[in-house]
Structure 1
Amino acid sequence: MVTFQLEFQILETQNEKNLSSVVTDLNIIMEPTEYPELSELVSRAEERRDLFMFFRSLHFFVEWCEYRKRTFKHFKEKYPDVVQLPEGAASSCLGIQNASQPGFELVIVWRIQIDDEGKVLPKLDLLTKIPQQALELDKKNVIESAPLSFRTLLGVLGIEASLESLIKLFFNTKE
């Protein structure tokens, strides 16, 4: 839940043919949240005095947050021994670990970015935590290229299928 308060002034002008309204002053007061992206959105909306951009971006931001939460919850329930949500149900990170391979961990960081125009986009990154001994055995730099390969996989399969594939391939998990 995101709470905020709006204060704005509108200047209306009318000529012979039409009536137009322009926001001349905009102040958005938002309670501190765990989403730093929203403070940037508020600043841009106030600077541009663009209520439409603010509401549109906020709507899509909340939609992406809910989708991330549902997706992470799905994988936590499906693979409870492998998937961890270190920050709880609303986590922006999903950890993939397997007790039979201690020291190996993959972390998916799923941020939701809002660009300068107010467009809301998901950004997923793969981080690897691999023991030094395993890194030394990786002559083909598979581990080093894993983040880029994951981005390619996202472009081909989409978010859910990429996460599913990663969990199954990395840990040879069978359904």
Structure 2
Amino acid sequence: MSGEYPILPNGKLGRPVDWVEPHEPQLPSAATNMDAFGARYFAEYYLNLLAYSINTGNTTTLKKVSSPECKVCQSYIDLIGTIYEDGGWVDGKNYTITRIDEPIPHPQTKGLYFVKIYAKNAPYVEYRERELYPAQENQRIIELEVLEQENRFVIKSFYAKDGAASDESGEAQS
């Protein structure tokens, strides 16, 4: 029994019957300012774009704004591709930003900013390898290095940990 998920002819579960493909987030005009103000808005845009890519499998824009140096960014792109290529999907992934600290300019690298974001993941469902994997709501602390490159921003590094944990066990870093 699949509940609200239709069973497809190939035996896999389809997306929920009420699923509507989200619109790709648009880069806010504030994120085109090549300063700390712009870096803050670009970081927020990046998280929204990441959630969109996870929910749709469309990583085209995510690839453009993720530096090849960012190992975590590249692993997200690869994982999203693998899930969708294998007939999987994700439903309901999003980030609710609860706080963004003031971006910190790098003292020695012009155009590089450190942005710390406190965000909440809503519960979501991932379907892969013919299994449903529900994810619970959680708090995350996400630290991004936002780099000005050719008059636009890219994410140079991505670090995330569980916002409620006192240890470092929930880390992802590049």
Same structural fold, with TM-score higher than 0.5 when normalized by the shorter chain = no
TM-score range, shorter chain: under 0.3
When Rg is computed on C-alpha atoms for both structures, the one with the higher figure is 1
More relative contact order in 1 or in 2 (CA 8 Å, sep 6+)? 2
TM-score after normalising by structure 1? 0.25
In the superposition, the TM-score normalised over structure 2's length comes to 0.25
Instruction: Answer 1 or 2: which has greater helix percent.
Output: 1
